[in-house]
Amino acid sequence: MSIKLDSDTISVMNVFSDVTSIPARDSFVEDDKVIFVVSQGQAGIAIGKNGVKIKMLQEMLKKEVIVIEYSDDPVKLFENVIHPNKLLSGYVANDQDGSRKLDVYVDAKPSRSRVKLVKSVMQRYFNITNVNIR
């Protein structure tokens, strides 16, 4: 699935890269948050010690900033999105109507806004429209 980025998104991604020294793979706005997707293993570097880089970005962008590590595996990406909540198990299956669904079991249900973010991310990267969190 290819994702098209507009010039505003590219500008925000350039700001992210300038502040964090990490290139963002993707960026999008969800409600009052700016989400940056980085390569596996890059989130800690992007966040900075004690969150200093994220705090700087939040001041510059005037929005909450969330950094997510990308994965080609939908279950692993789900786990990255709900962090610090813990994933107990999960799998992707085809629904009866031919659509894909993600069934996951977690130690504690994520907040409503995080569930909304999970659904957006799963739709954006894997065309998964049904996410069951238990």
Report pLDDT digits (tens) over 77-96: 999 999 999 999 999 998 88
Token pair, residue 50, equals: 């004690």
pLDDT of residue 95: 80
Q: Provide the pLDDT confidence category of residue 97 given band limits of 50, 70 and 90.
A: confident
Q: With bands split at pLDDT 50, 70 and 90, how would you rate the model's confidence at 24? A: very high
What average pLDDT does the chain have? Answer: 94
The pTM assigned to this predicted structure is: 0.92
Q: What was the pLDDT predicted at 1? A: 54
Q: Which residues pair with 100 in a beta bridge?
A: 94, 128
Band (22; pLDDT cuts 50, 70, 90): very high
Q: HEC string of the chain?
A: CCCCCCHHHHHHHHHHHHHHCCCCCEEEEECCEEEEEECCCCHHHHHCHHHHHHHHHHHHHCCEEEEEECCCCHHHHHHHHHCCCCEEEEEEEECCCCCEEEEEEECCCCCHHHHHHHHHHHHHHHCEEEEEEC
Domains annotated on the chain, with CATH? 7-69 (3.30.300.20), 74-133 (3.30.300.20)
Cβ atoms of residues 97 and 130 within 8 Å: no
List of residues 6+ apart from 14 with CB closer than 8 A: none
d(CA 132, CA 18): 37
CA distance 47 to 56: 10
